[in-house]
């Protein structure tokens, strides 16, 4: 059993991890980078089913992200019901049609052109799962009163990052879709008032023929500064 003690009356447990050699640490950092560097946002999904237990574990991994004061201000809604996916597609396309045809300024559209995105979101029905991530702007305590959450955007963003990494590591593909505005998701999924839609993530196997834009990531020297 783990060592445990009270610090100012609060329970703490000893945290231990394998102490790797310097060479092992170097290798592990490189290996994980190599794996994650293979991740691509995918717009062409296979309809091949993905077992619910896989999605459960992906969400469990997302929930290991740190959060402000450990409030875990997130809800992951996993949708596989075709009728609900269809409804989400219809509502998302309604908004995205308006966005792509007038709401988005020319520069934004030009920046998106190399990615060949558009208002049509057929992947919302093809991908076997949609994970809709909701951010809690406050929590509802057991006694029904409101409680604060802290750094909710950062916390849920981190959880989404963990989720995307887990999806990739499992051999699956994802797409971070940002229908705007996306309040329709609260209605379709009947979410409580304290939850706001944050990100809509189709998850599945990539289609056998799946094209992704030939874009490059910025180099380390262009994204880092060393002191």
How distant, in Å, are the alpha carbons of 15, 108, 165 from that of 78?
Answer: 32, 30, 17
User: Can you read off the two tokens belonging to residue 185?
Assistant: 């998701």
Q: Dihedral of CA 122/192/56/52: which sign?
A: negative
**Closest to ligand IYR by CB, 110 or 112:** 112
Shortest distance in whole angstroms from residue 169 CB to ligand IYR: 21
Shortest distance in whole angstroms from residue 222 CB to ligand IYR: 20
Shortest distance in whole angstroms from residue 80 CB to ligand IYR: 21
Contacts of residue 194, Cβ cutoff 8 Å, sequence gap at least 6: 136, 137, 138, 139, 140, 146
Which helix (DSSP H) or strand (DSSP E) does residue 134 occupy? strand 129-136
User: Can you read off the two tokens belonging to residue 30?
Assistant: 């490189």
Shortest distance in whole angstroms from residue 5 CB to ligand IYR: 46
**Closest to ligand IYR by CB, 44 or 96:** 96
Facing residues of 177 across strands? 200
The three-point CA angle 158-161-164 to 5° equals 155
**Closest to ligand IYR by CB, 179 or 197:** 179
Facing residues of 74 across strands? 135
**Closest to ligand IYR by CB, 177 or 191:** 177
Shortest distance in whole angstroms from residue 25 CB to ligand IYR: 33
Task: Classify strands 146-147 and 173-174 as parallel, antiparallel or unpaired.
Answer: unpaired
| Binding interface with ligand IYR (CB under 6 A) | 96, 112, 117, 177-180
Task: Classify strands 195-204 and 173-174 as parallel, antiparallel or unpaired.
Answer: antiparallel
Shortest distance in whole angstroms from residue 54 CB to ligand IYR: 24
Chain centroid to CA 215: 21
Q: How far is the C-alpha of 62 from the C-alpha of 59, rounded, in Å?
A: 5
**Closest to ligand IYR by CB, 62 or 124:** 124
**Closest to ligand IYR by CB, 54 or 133:** 133
Shortest distance in whole angstroms from residue 57 CB to ligand IYR: 26
**Closest to ligand IYR by CB, 36 or 112:** 112
**Residue number, nearest CB to ligand IYR:** 178
């Amino acid at each position: 059993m783990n060592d445990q003690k009270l610090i100012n009356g609060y329970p703490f447990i000893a945290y231990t991890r394998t102490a790797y050699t310097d060479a092992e640490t170097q290798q592990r950092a490189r290996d994980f980078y190599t794996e994650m560097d293979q991740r691509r946002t995918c717009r062409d999904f296979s309809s091949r089913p993905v077992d619910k237990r896989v999605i459960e574990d992906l969400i469990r991994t997302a929930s290991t992200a740190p959060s402000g004061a450990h409030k875990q201000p997130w809800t992951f809604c996993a949708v596989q019901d075709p009728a609900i996916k269809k409804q989400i597609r219809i509502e998302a396309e309604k908004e995205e049609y308006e966005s792509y045809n007038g709401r988005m300024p020319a520069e934004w559209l030009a920046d998106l052109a190399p990615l060949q995105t558009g208002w049509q979101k057929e992947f919302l029905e093809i991908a076997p799962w949609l994970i809709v991530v909701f951010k809690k702007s406050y929590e509802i305590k057991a006694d029904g009163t409101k409680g604060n959450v802290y750094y909710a955007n950062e916390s849920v963003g981190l959880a989404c990052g963990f989720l995307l990494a887990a999806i990739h590591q499992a051999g699956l593909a994802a797409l971070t879709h940002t229908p705007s505005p996306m309040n329709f998701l609260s209605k379709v999924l009947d979410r409580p008032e304290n939850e706001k839609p944050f990100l809509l993530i189709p998850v599945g196997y990539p289609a056998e023929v799946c094209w992704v834009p030939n874009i490059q990531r910025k180099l380390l020297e262009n994204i880092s500064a060393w002191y």
